[in-house]
Amino acid sequence: MSVQCEDVASSSPARGEGGPESYVEGAVRGDRRSVEALLARIRPAVVKYCRARVGHGQRSSASAEDVAQEVCLAVLKALPNYREQGRPFLAFVYGIAAHKVADAHRAAARNRAESVPELPDSAGVEPGPELRALQGELSERMGRLLDVLPDRQREILVLRVVLGLSAEETAVAVGSTPGAVRVAQHRALTRLRKALDEAQHGG
């Protein structure tokens, strides 16, 4: 199968057409149109998820878009062996995405010691060094803040707050119940508030 994720990156599904589930069966059989339609429907959620989990401040590691591309390719590769198990297809996709994000974080940790500051190529209309530094610092702070959470709470918070999934959708994606998702989200937010308070008061 020669479909590339970039082929469908800019194509958006027509209004009124079905979600990813409508195309899974055809995509598993190798139908090119079904594969393209499926990727067009999952890619925006994958990119959003990767942006939330990878961030924008890791110059020496893969960008969120690079990781999203790897997720799409991994989904394509896994399609022939996919079997419906009573969970939405997006739960399968988020499982792959979580692994690829973890790989990106490991690679970033390895590369951090080797990173060299980048010099600007030329003056242009891009943000100045002050703004880039501020954006990088904010992204880094957010990453450090999320790092205080256990993996499961962090995952639930990203799915609920960043991607805007309902408690029911998140529960399916992480293999839990809506009630447990709400409890985990509450605990995660409480933990983040405590971490912020400690940081602001010199803790």
> Rounded to whole angstroms, how far apart are CA atoms 193 and 196?
5
What's the pLDDT at 88? 84
Closest C-alpha to 76, from 121, 129, 128, 24: 24
pLDDT by residue (tens digit) across 176-190? 899 999 999 999 999
Three-class DSSP category at 104: helix
What's the pLDDT at 9? 45
Domains along the chain?
1-111 (1.10.1740.10), 135-203 (1.10.10.10)
Q: Is the pLDDT at 54 greater than 70, yes or no?
A: yes
Query: pLDDT category, 172, cuts 50, 70, 90?
Result: confident
**Residue with the larger pLDDT of the pair 173 and 152:** 152
Query: pLDDT category, 36, cuts 50, 70, 90?
Result: very high
pTM of the model: 0.65
Q: Cα 35–87–184 angle (5° rounding)?
A: 120
Q: Is the pLDDT at 63 greater than 60, yes or no?
A: yes
**Residue with the larger pLDDT of the pair 134 and 19:** 19
Share of the chain above pLDDT 90, in %: 30
pLDDT by residue (tens digit) across 155-169? 898 888 878 888 988
DSSP string, 28-67: HHT-HHHHHHHHHHHHHHHHHHHHHHH-S--TTS--HHHH
Q: Would you tell me the crossing angle of helices 32-54 and 64-78 to the nearest 10 degrees? A: 140
DSSP one-letter code for 117 = P
What's the pLDDT at 124? 47
DSSP one-letter code for 161 = I
> Rounded to whole angstroms, how far apart are CA atoms 90 and 97?
10
Q: Note the Cα 201 to chain centre separation in Å.
A: 32
What's the pLDDT at 113? 53
DSSP one-letter code for 86 = S
